[in-house]
Copies of this chain bind each other. A is one copy, B any other.
Amino acid sequence: MHAHDPAQAFAPHDHATCAAEALARAEEICAETGARLTPVRRRALEILLETHKAMGAYDVLDRLAEDGFGHQPPVAYRALDFLVDQGLVHRIQRLNAFTACTHPGGHKHAPVFLICEHCHVVAEAPGRSVQDSLERAAGEIGFAIERAHVEALGLCPACRETDA
């Protein structure tokens, strides 16, 4: 599986490479924009990149604390807020949790999240057509969308078979 296939998160893949590429890409993006990927921020991103499951802010915080960073909530929230602002991490509203973006920098990408209720992996699907429908529906009634969150709960391909 190519590293940029949609929903790679649901398929077996070379995760070390997957994470390393995302991290490298994150560094490029920050370098380009002048944003500072400081140690806490970078570490927070690494932690999120370890898994395709979404992590709560306090889980990230615990990990950061283990690594010698502060152990108060703002430490995690500030790092996460920064990463979300840079588009390197997404917040999954449904779970009050965060997941690293697998293909950051994608030209204003409007992600659609698929959340497996069985294995808890979160994948980003190509959301262009969904966002287009959304824009159209909103446009018809004169609503101007600034940003949209699309999150679907269900079963990923692997868990469908397991459960069935």
Seen from chain A, the residues whose Cβ lies within 8 Å of a Cβ on chain B are 6-7, 10, 93-94, 112, 114, 116-117, 123, 125-127, 129-130, 132-134, 136-138, 140-157, 160
Contact check, B143 vs A157: say whether CB atoms are below 8 A apart.
yes
B7, B10, B137, B148: which contacts A129 (Cβ < 8 A)?
B137
Copies of this polypeptide in the complex? 2
Residues of B within 8 A of A117 (CB): 146
Closest residue of chain B to A147 (Cβ to Cβ) is B153
B130 pairs with A143, CB closer than 8 A: no
A-B contact pairs, 21 of them (CB 8 A): A7-B143, A10-B141, A94-B149, A112-B137, A125-B138, A125-B143, A127-B137, A129-B133, A129-B136, A130-B134, A133-B133, A134-B152, A138-B152, A141-B157, A142-B157, A142-B160, A143-B157, A145-B152, A147-B153, A149-B149, A149-B150
Contact A114 B127 (CB under 8 A): no
| Residue of A7, A117, A138 ringed by the most chain B CB atoms within 10 A | A138
| Nearest-Cβ distance from residue A98 to partner chain B, whole angstroms | 14
The answer to whether A150 and B153 have CB atoms under 8 Å apart is no
Q: Is the CB of A151 within 8 A of B93?
A: yes
Contacting pair B160 A154 (CB below 8 A): no
Whether the Cβ atoms of B143 and A114 lie closer than 8 Å is yes
Cα A123 to Cα B125 in complex, Å, equals: 26
List 10 additional A-B contacts (Cβ < 8 Å) besides A114-B138, A123-B141: A123-B143, A125-B137, A132-B133, A141-B157, A142-B160, A144-B160, A145-B154, A146-B155, A147-B153, A149-B150
